[in-house]
Structure 1
Amino acid sequence: MNNQAESISSDFTFDWQSVAQQMLISRALDDLEEFTLVKEKKVLYQFSARGHDLAQILLGKILDAKKDAVSGYYRSRPLLLSIGISVEQCLQSTMMKAGGFSNGRDIGVVFNQPNHDGVCVLPMSGGVGAQYTPVAGWAQAVEFHNKYLENNEWNDAIGLVLGGDASVATNGFWSALTMATTLSLPMMFYIEDNGYGISVPSSFQTPGGNIVKNLESFKNLQIFSGDGTNPKETSELILQARHSVRELRQPTLLRLTVPRLSGHSAQDTQSYKSAERIAFEQQHDPLPKLERFLKKQGLLSNDRWDKMVSEAQQYVQKVCDQVEQQEKASPADIERFAFSEKNDQDQPILQTQGGILPSQPQFPPSSRDKSPEAGRINMVTAIRKTLDFELQHNNKMLLFGEDVGAKGGVHAVTLGLQEKFGDQRVFDTSLSEEGIIGRSLGLALAGLLPVPEIQFRKYADPAEEQFNDCGTMRWRTNNRFAAPMVVRMAGGYFGCGDPWHSQCAEVKWVHAIGWQLAMPSNAEDAVGLLRYALRDNNPTVFFEHRKMLDHIWARRPYPGDEYIIPFGVGKRILSGDRLTVVSWGGTVHMCQTAIENSGIQADLIDLRTLSPWDKDMVLQSVKNTGRCLIVHEDNISAGFGAEIAAVLAQEAFFYLDAPIERLATPDIGNPHDPVLMNAALPNPDKILEAIKNLDAI
């Protein structure tokens, strides 16, 4: 650890005139928003960066490689100004104007900036600590582009993440720190320590209130710490950190103490701070220190400083006047870009950054026609064969998660794939679902195709913030960014149940913004749906039902390496005119058994995907039969069956000859004892009884 700034030999120098100019512009923006625009309700969210600004601006200057990336948080505007983001863009965002960073969709203090030829500003998150793991993913992508794909454009690139002292208590921080140090990633953590998380002192976030002291024994991490208000010390520490991460390619943490000279937000009165504390912070304002430093170095005269202050204020006001005249975003477009859109030629309207272009790589042909191989295989083998084929033909596809490497996955789906494709393409991760999905987000933004595995559905819950950030990304950046990925996730009942490994709860991913959801019931559909997901331009949850992975009913001939099933296309398994049964996943085979045992002619529809779902097929069937039974494994209250029932009640009401019926698990967990589990879940006998009752109405 380095507590004292030491000079190092470097060709890099700071343009102090530019630093001063951008710091004055940052202050003028803060003043204008906090004292005028917030009061006039022209800005609704305002977070002043006063006190944080000097260090951020200096830090932004070192981001000079073609494939650098940075992610900050709501107090990171000075760094953005430093890397060239315009004052107009900043005000367009905070004043909710058309264009800007989100077209008025996201709060104005979270920024993004696509860039393929300079520093890329990854979409910021409104959640504290959520910025860390995506930057770790970007840094891992840097190494993959360099070493595996041998792309020289990525040679010197780094990932930089900004966070406050409160964020060091989050799962995201520790998960990213684990990734960066165990994988030796070119990633820099910048912790701007102002002593408070809103009103909570930093001593509540980490023992002793100093994260550096707690990381002294952390392996494979270069640490620098000091005063972020002293221009000389700050610049030297930043240069040392730059040397460590840029030239030595080492994970690096830089902690600088800075004052927060305003409240947490414009509405914060700071009543929790003593008068002595506020006076202490004002004494450590970096702006007067910068003025004295520049004058002492002979870089600035008194008259020039005063003129620069005036020019910054006038410039910011002039830009504000121009932005005020600009149009607001149109409400007519507010529903666009929840998912990828296609043009008249059925080609995707691509996001500016993230994911792989359809022409790169060139995917092999696909077809909805089958070329079945002899014999029947289970779903485990079908998924493995599909992953194998797609890994062969897409060198930017990465398969990873806990135990997916040497072990081949706890469900044996990835068995042998690491041996075949190497540990850069198929690899194990640390035990953090936040890290798995956050890493995936960063990898996708860097142009790779991540295929992470979550071992069991319940284990996805700690990663919910990253799922949300990924799914909403296309919409909240107005199609500037998207992070296509395929998250393989196991769940559902098995030989027994339990509340931790046997949960479905699939409706959460239907409700989640921007996520597709596939739930195949058999090996053939698993092949077609997985291939579609791996070549699509949206984030997808691919649900691998535990029982169906090796269920005899689910075994099918392998349909061929070209077989593909578009999402939103259901499958009619049985045909009849007495009633319609709709199901998916692990209950489809039960429904087929029940219908065949009933002797009643019924339509059996396997939806196969729930987001999107084949509404037209279900409506057409119900209009023909007049009766509908919906069967699913998830809990009945607010399960996806309720959505189907609501659509039928609205769009097929006059065709119904009987009430819409649902059969699902009661609002309890999945019991462990097989007898109790069978009593709680739908089963063929319950389904048969429901079919007979509905048919008799």
Structure 2
Amino acid sequence: MSKSAAPAFSEASEAPRASNHLDPSIDWRRIAYVTQVSRALDALEETTLVPEKKVLYQFSARGHDMAQVLLGAQLTHKHDAICGYYRSRPILLSLGVDLVEALGSSLARAGGYSDGRDIGVVFNYPNPDGPSALPMCGGVGAQYTPTAGWAQGIKFRTETLGDSEYKSAIGVVLGGEASVATNGFWSALTMATTLKLPMLFYIEDNGYGISVPSHFQTPGRNIAANLASFKNLKVLDGDGTDPAEAAALIKEAVAAVRGAEGPCLLRLTVPRLQGHSFQDTQTYKSEDFVENEWERDPLPKLKDHLVPSLMNEAEWNEIEKRAQADVEAAREKAESLPTADPQTVTRHVFSDDEPQTMGGLRGAFVAPEGAETPAPEGNRINMVTAIRKTLDHELSINDKMVIFGEDVGPKGGVHAVTLGLQKKYGDDRVFDTSLSEEGIIGRAVGMALNGLLPVPEIQFRKYADPAVEQINDCGTMRWRTNNRFAAPMVVRMPVGFFKCGDPWHSQTNEVQFVHSPGWKVAVPSNAEDAVGLLRTALRGDDPVMFLEHRAMLDAASARRAYPGDDYKLPFGKAKVTREGGDITLIAWGAMVERCEKAAETSSRSVEVIDLRTLMPWDKETVLASVSKTHRCLIVHEDLQTGGFGGEIAGVVADEAFLDLDAPVSRLTMPDVPSPHNPALLNAVVPDAGRIASKIDELCEF
């Protein structure tokens, strides 16, 4: 498209205009004031704070502002929640976010949205007395599926738990027209329409995704027109710069969702009166198009709507002056705020002993204390049965726990771990989902923020890749909101080989989750540990990756007696499964069994350590063992380059170098995908024979 061929907005301009009456249910004076405050903040940042390098990221909301403020005025339920994006400050102001907090966040000062940890335009607002703003993310489209999860949480609370306090509450997601091309949008749309969730998709269409015209995102440039025949979805479309029309459409959309009609998509066309960000000069737009955008500025239209029908010129000017004065006063206070103490920057990665303001079950569910001493019951059972039994018990004592994923319902999961749980607890607590891993994890985030305990399943490790953005956003949430929000969940995920391998179902790559701040990672090697670690995860307050090795799910060596309904294992506490004095072997998951077999056949005195959890991991036990044996061999199934064994080796080299009589060594898969033929698989995965040979090599060093 040439610069002169600007995106058209004929759909909105040709739509029937609402009558110019003043809706008496709307506080128009407040609409005018908050819109003027938004304008004053944008102007202050652009003319002063950005040039002075006090604000490092700035995204103007001019043109989007009035309609957002109108939307905020309709969010009146205590349990309403919005999730927006980087151009959503006007609706935050409309919900009541303090001006000093808003401006202090832009200045990256102490307090505010994140204590200076995140960009000031990435908002969050936990509001115990009214509508909240869920933590926004830096990724385009990442806001959709958590909002769907929040809306599903509302539905669960009202229909399953019978909580009338949530009746008529809604979830609202804000997005631009470019974001409708993302996986998150379509996944959330599928969830909202198939489940008839109380969710409003509010799409601000300014015609450009940074510099890319909207026809690259949506054929015909109008997502509302394209979704007109979508089932179970009310679709509205209009001009977001016309006060009467925008107010009427927003009111209709919110009322429809509140009235249990199901989800609604409202598209409003608005001008983006500044660049994408402060640095964007908009050279990709023609002068005529920019002039046309300013002619559509909603602020003069708002003035024409209110003067003289509601107020005179003097009152309008007084509102503008008051807004500017309030912003200037907030500036003085915000600029006086200190920078956060750098020594605090490592706090709030995990829950520790300080609960988050919003999200999770803290305060709503008091779990039994549990015990670290197992109380064995009956015969040895396999890991599948042990995990199922644990899930069963925790479902029975926690009515806010839900299990979901692809095929976890009637089928009971592809590995039969959830077999029978849907029949016992119902399809509102154990349910199948659409085929979208981003949707599975994103929905879990929203449900966790709503105070539920989501236990999503990802069928195989490789299948988690489409959900990486949601996984990372979830893990960093507590830290980047300075403990205002957290989304505790337990993600169950089979990993590794089983009889054979392949590049799609047999990946481990656990190190990716270890390298995602905020996630705890458990890799049990047997049924007893699986019970203890899973129960700790389900009663904790952090997101946990619970990795179930496929080869161990029914392995005879992994069978144990069920350790009881109270059994819990602390994270970060390894187990010495075999004591020895010549060499230390460190492993987890399926490699523990192979290390033990190698130790049994070796003529050396071998100490075997099962780490059990990788985040956190028990370096104290490892270092104590190495100081005794003076040799260290790390065995894992993952690839060698970048594998977690490198982290362990680094710590041992740093902290136990003088204790070593041989180099720290690793035995891993080579840097290749998991091969399918069993002969090829056996050639690359460490086995007991190769481990025993490596033991001899190091002991003879």
User: TM-score normalized by structure 1?
Assistant: 0.97
Match of 2:7 in 1: none
CA contact (8 A) 2:18 2:244 kept: no
Taking structure 1 as reference, are residues 12 and 661 closer, same or farther at Cα in structure 2, changes over 3 Å only?
farther
CA contact (8 A) 1:641 1:662 kept: yes
Match of 2:8 in 1: none
**CA displacement at 1:189 relative to structure 2:** 0.3
**Partner secondary structure for residue 535 of structure 2:** helix
User: TM-score normalized by structure 2?
Assistant: 0.97
Match of 1:465 in 2: 469
In structure 1, distance between residues paired with 2:377 and 2:97: 56
Taking structure 1 as reference, are residues 11 and 365 closer, same or farther at Cα in structure 2, changes over 3 Å only?
farther
In structure 2, distance between residues paired with 1:441 and 1:664: 34
Deviates more, 1:468-477 or 1:319-328: 319-328
**Residue 575, structure 1, aligned to residue 579, structure 2:** yes
Deviations, residues 619-667 of structure 1 (Å, cap 9, x unaligned): 0000000000000000001111000000001110100000011000111
CA contact (8 A) 1:6 1:240 kept: no
Alignment match of 1:356 (pick from 337, 354, 361): 361
**Residue 309, structure 1, aligned to residue 320, structure 2:** yes
**CA displacement at 1:4 relative to structure 2:** 4.9
1:115 is matched by which residue type in structure 2? Answer: N
Percent of pairs with identical residues: 60
**CA displacement at 1:308 relative to structure 2:** 2.2
In structure 2, distance between residues paired with 1:312 and 1:62: 21
Deviations, residues 248-291 of structure 1 (Å, cap 9, x unaligned): 34100000000000000011100000011101101100011111
Match of 1:346 in 2: none
Superposition map of 1:297-336 within 5 A: 298-336=309-347
**Partner secondary structure for residue 72 of structure 2:** helix
**Residue 204, structure 1, aligned to residue 216, structure 2:** yes
Match of 2:74 in 1: 62
**Partner secondary structure for residue 341 of structure 1:** coil
CA contact (8 A) 1:5 1:236 kept: no
In structure 2, distance between residues paired with 1:469 and 1:249: 31
In structure 2, distance between residues paired with 1:566 and 1:387: 18
**Residue 681, structure 1, aligned to residue 677, structure 2:** no
**CA displacement at 1:117 relative to structure 2:** 2.7
**CA displacement at 1:363 relative to structure 2:** 1.9
**CA displacement at 1:313 relative to structure 2:** 1.7
In structure 2, distance between residues paired with 1:390 and 1:120: 29
Alignment match of 1:51 (pick from 59, 63, 66): 63
CA contact (8 A) 2:307 2:316 kept: no
**CA displacement at 1:147 relative to structure 2:** 1.2
**CA displacement at 1:247 relative to structure 2:** 1.7
**Residue 183, structure 1, aligned to residue 187, structure 2:** no
2:613 is matched by which residue type in structure 1? Answer: T
CA contact (8 A) 2:168 2:260 kept: no
Alignment match of 1:610 (pick from 605, 608, 614): 614
CA contact (8 A) 2:455 2:489 kept: yes
CA contact (8 A) 1:28 1:316 kept: yes
Alignment match of 2:566 (pick from 550, 557, 562): 562
Alignment match of 2:668 (pick from 654, 657, 664): 664
**Partner secondary structure for residue 96 of structure 1:** coil
Match of 1:517 in 2: 521
In structure 1, distance between residues paired with 2:173 and 2:592: 46
Taking structure 1 as reference, are residues 325 and 631 closer, same or farther at Cα in structure 2, changes over 3 Å only?
same
CA contact (8 A) 2:359 2:486 kept: yes
Alignment match of 2:87 (pick from 75, 87, 91): 75
In structure 2, distance between residues paired with 1:4 and 1:108: 38
In structure 2, distance between residues paired with 1:273 and 1:682: 59
Deviations, residues 333-365 of structure 1 (Å, cap 9, x unaligned): 0000011112xxxxxx100000001x5323234
**Partner secondary structure for residue 557 of structure 1:** strand
Alignment match of 1:110 (pick from 122, 139, 153): 122
Deviations, residues 586-640 of structure 1 (Å, cap 9, x unaligned): 1110111111011211110000000000110000000000000000000001111
**CA displacement at 1:12 relative to structure 2:** 7.9
Alignment match of 1:340 (pick from 351, 367, 385): 351
Match of 1:418 in 2: 422
Match of 2:137 in 1: 125
Structure 1 runs (4+) greater than 4 angstroms displaced: 1-7
CA contact (8 A) 1:364 1:393 kept: no
**Partner secondary structure for residue 180 of structure 1:** helix
Gaps spanning 5+ residues in structure 1: where?
Answer: 343-348
1:207 is matched by which residue type in structure 2? Answer: P
Gaps spanning 5+ residues in structure 2: where?
Answer: 1-10
Q: How many residues align?
A: 688
Alignment match of 2:623 (pick from 619, 626, 645): 619
Alignment match of 1:98 (pick from 110, 122, 142): 110
Deviations, residues 456-513 of structure 1 (Å, cap 9, x unaligned): 0000010011001100000001111111000000110111100110000000111110
CA contact (8 A) 1:391 1:397 kept: yes
Deviations, residues 4-32 of structure 1 (Å, cap 9, x unaligned): 5779xx99811111101111111010000
**Residue 431, structure 1, aligned to residue 442, structure 2:** no
Alignment match of 1:224 (pick from 236, 240, 250): 236
In structure 2, distance between residues paired with 1:439 and 1:279: 41
Alignment match of 1:499 (pick from 503, 506, 517): 503
**Residue 488, structure 1, aligned to residue 466, structure 2:** no
Deviations, residues 342-392 of structure 1 (Å, cap 9, x unaligned): 2xxxxxx100000001x5323234111111122111100000000000000
CA contact (8 A) 1:627 1:660 kept: yes
Match of 1:345 in 2: none
CA contact (8 A) 1:6 1:237 kept: no
**Partner secondary structure for residue 39 of structure 2:** helix
**CA displacement at 1:229 relative to structure 2:** 0.3
In structure 2, distance between residues paired with 1:451 and 1:110: 27
**CA displacement at 1:680 relative to structure 2:** 1.0
In structure 2, distance between residues paired with 1:375 and 1:485: 31
Alignment match of 2:557 (pick from 518, 539, 553): 553
Match of 1:253 in 2: 265
In structure 2, distance between residues paired with 1:30 and 1:527: 54
In structure 1, distance between residues paired with 2:218 and 2:595: 54
**Partner secondary structure for residue 45 of structure 2:** helix
**CA displacement at 1:87 relative to structure 2:** 1.3
**CA displacement at 1:148 relative to structure 2:** 1.2
In structure 1, distance between residues paired with 2:248 and 2:86: 26
**Residue 138, structure 1, aligned to residue 150, structure 2:** yes
In structure 2, distance between residues paired with 1:242 and 1:474: 30
CA contact (8 A) 1:529 1:564 kept: yes
Match of 2:98 in 1: 86
2:366 is matched by which residue type in structure 1? Answer: Q
1:691 is matched by which residue type in structure 2? Answer: I
Alignment match of 2:598 (pick from 590, 594, 599): 594
Deviations, residues 43-76 of structure 1 (Å, cap 9, x unaligned): 0010000000111000000100010000100000
In structure 1, distance between residues paired with 2:405 and 2:204: 32
Deviates more, 1:72-81 or 1:301-310: 301-310
Alignment match of 1:535 (pick from 532, 535, 539): 539
**CA displacement at 1:315 relative to structure 2:** 2.0
Deviates more, 1:514-523 or 1:204-213: 204-213
In structure 2, distance between residues paired with 1:360 and 1:158: 21
Deviations, residues 422-481 of structure 1 (Å, cap 9, x unaligned): 011100000000000000000000000000000000000100110011000000011111
Deviates more, 1:596-605 or 1:131-140: 596-605
**Residue 395, structure 1, aligned to residue 399, structure 2:** yes
CA contact (8 A) 1:114 1:122 kept: yes
**Partner secondary structure for residue 391 of structure 1:** helix
2:231 is matched by which residue type in structure 1? Answer: K
In structure 2, distance between residues paired with 1:309 and 1:445: 37
In structure 2, distance between residues paired with 1:243 and 1:507: 47
